[in-house]
Chain A
Amino acid sequence: MRFQISNLDFFYGPKQALFGLSLNIPTNHITALIGPSGCGKSTFLRTLNRMNDLIRHSHYTGEILLDGQDIRKIDAVNLRRRVGMVFQRPNPFPKSIFDNVAYGLRINGYQGRLADLVEHSLRRAALWDEVKDILHKSALILSGGQQQRLCIARALAVDPEVLLLDEPCSALDPVTTAKIEELMFTLKDSYTLAIVTHNMQQAARASDFTAFMLDGRLIEHRETSRLFTTPSDPRTEAYITGRFG
């Protein structure tokens, strides 16, 4: 188990957003988090790399272990290097494609040849062939799907153990979405992935485990194939059959 989460309560100031969440995120698998808008999936994901630390007056109780170690005891900068993140909207820096991928390496004081690792990361993100001749052009000239794969390459460059994806395809068309899903599948051999998605077909297609959340609570968490065929909770069934959300 890469992440072990138990009794997680999360608060934005006085407002509680997550209630007693307990689940494990297994190594080298894809875990999908589904649920209607505002159910706390993104909040949960952003707790895992302490990105919520940036939000004033937020805090959590309970325990989150990464490889058995409490993440509160890990320096936040180190933790984020180990737990990479891809965001809902592609957010490349307004720099060149090369500099985008190299950024994480530079700030972490990488000593080897940058160019090799940039190429390697872009290959892993299945983007190399499309950008190898325009590495020093602005990342902003790329299409949305290319930008999102660039953001994945940027996250992979610092060689994290976990990759958190926060609705990475919500701004993309179906063809590009398929590319990203294919990419996730090839990445799970080396990484642990957790993906928040609005799209139930995506969860069903691309994940090994699925967690269904509702109103800040974890309703059900099982193998994806079983959750979608024989949900044990009536609310899960209602959601996946499209009766709400």
Chain B
Amino acid sequence: MSNAIQTAGSVAPSHEGPRAWLRRFVSGDEVAHIVTLLFASTILAITGLLVLQLWTNSRLSRVQSGWHFFFMQTWDPVFEHFGALPFLYGTVVTTVVALVISVPLGLGAAIYLAELAPRKISDVLAFLVDLLAAVPSVIYGLLGIFLVIPLMREVIEPFLKRTMGFLPIFQGPAYGIGLLTGGLVLAIMIVPFIVSISREVLLVVPREQREAAMSLGATRWEATWHVVVPYARGGIFGSIFLAMARALGETMAVTMVIGNDPRIAASLFSPGYTIAAVIANEFSEATYPLYINALVELGLVLFLLTFVLNGLARLLILATEQRGVAHS
């Protein structure tokens, strides 16, 4: 029997045998334990099934391409060339662009809402932010097509070219569609997650922490930036992971604005493709088993990528915490 049951205050020692066990069983502790354990184990089961399915259904592709799958730049189903690299590149680049834009924006907004805004304004805006987080991604895709793409083509990309055109990432023709636009639309989508969760964790930082800083002669902003934000660091990182996971896997909004062209170009203005987008777009057209298997293997890659990036991010937190020290 587990600890939970022994500490639950049941009186029967184990040597009383099955009768005592039955009594506890009927009184509910055992039942509750088994039932909740069963529910919890579904998490493991779902993860296992997922990996198993992706693994078995990508067998053909894995056997045929081996590790080349990760390094080949060509994706040409007509000639049975299946290389994942352009999609990996597009997925990582759009996610990085999205995080570069959304982390400062989201954190800044969260600080305003939690620390500086009058309570009423904060509550109303937080409600709107939660609403934004629930908007279906196809709507963001439409926003991208009707607003972001023209804006990028006419204003932002020409501006970036004029001012920072010496950087390879801001060169080439400004189509409006492409990696940068994909990243921007993703940023718009994930900002609500960062704002909403970061605001919550900032609000629960003990008042004494802020007061301790201010009692030493810190200004309001110094207390916020030096003490309150670091105190909430764990939760803020959590919000960023969640946002990152969503950006990595987002399909609809990205595919509507990225250009859907499997190539690797240094410029952020050039069209690209992401893993999630290519699976959604091509699965119904995949006409022969190897093609289908290659798409499933891409799914496996996306799964692993999410895993690896999350792991790296957690390591990063651990490293900063050991230096700066957190957790009681």
Contact with B along A139-157 (1 / 0, CB 8 A): 1100000000001001100
Find A89's partner among B119, B208, B217, B328 (CB 8 Å cutoff): B208
**B222 contacts which chain A residues (CB < 8 A)?**
107
For B204-223 the 0/1 string (1 means CB < 8 A from A) is: 00101111111111110010
Find residues 115-167 in chain B having any chain A CB closer than 8 Å to their own CB.
Answer: 119
Interface string of A118-154 (1 = CB under 8 A from B): 0000000000000000000111100000000001001
Residues of B with Cβ closer than 8 Å to A? 119, 206, 208-219, 222, 226-227, 230-231, 324-328
Is the beta-carbon distance between A54 and B325 smaller than 8 angstroms?
A: no
Shortest C-beta distance, A21 to chain B (Å), equals 21
Asked if B217 and A108 sit within 8 Å, CB to CB, the answer is yes
Task: Write out the residue numbers on chain A whose beta carbons fall within 8 Å of the beta carbon of B328.
Answer: 94, 140
Task: Please tell me if the beta carbons of B206 and A103 are within 8 angstroms of each other in the complex.
Answer: no
Which of B208, B217, B326, B327 meets A91, CB within 8 Å? B208
Residue of A nearest to B217 (CB): A81
A217 contacts chain B at the CB level, 8 A cutoff: no
Q: B218 touching A77 by the CB < 8 A rule?
A: yes
Alpha-carbon distance A158/B216, docked complex (angstroms): 7
**CB atoms of B214 and A104 under 8 A apart:** no
Bound-state Cα–Cα, A84 to B209, Å:
14
Is A51 within 8 A of B212, CB to CB? no
Q: Would you call A226 an interface residue if the criterion is a C-beta within 8 Å of the partner chain's C-beta atoms?
A: no
CA of A104 to CA of B212 in the docked complex: distance in angstroms? Answer: 10
Residues of B contacting A56 in the complex (Cβ-Cβ under 8 angstroms) = 119
- What separation, in Å, do the CA atoms of A150 and B208 have in the docked complex? 15
| B216 x A104 contact (CB < 8 A) | yes
A56-101 residues with Cβ-Cβ distance < 8 A to B are 56, 77-78, 80-81, 84-85, 87, 89, 91-96
Q: Which of B212, B217, B324 contacts A87 (CB 8 A)?
A: B212
B324 and A95 contact, CB distance less than 8 A: yes
Residues of B within 8 A of A92 (CB): 212
> CB of A49 within 8 A of chain B?
yes
**Pairwise interchain contact A103-B219, C-beta atoms closer than 8 A:** no
Given contacts A91-B206, A94-B230, A94-B326, contact A80 B212 (CB under 8 A): no
Which chain A residue has the least Cβ–Cβ distance from B206?
A: A91
For B227, the chain A residues whose CB sits under 8 A away are 93
Q: Which residue of B has the minimal Cβ distance to A103? A: B216
A103 to B209, CA, bound (A): 13
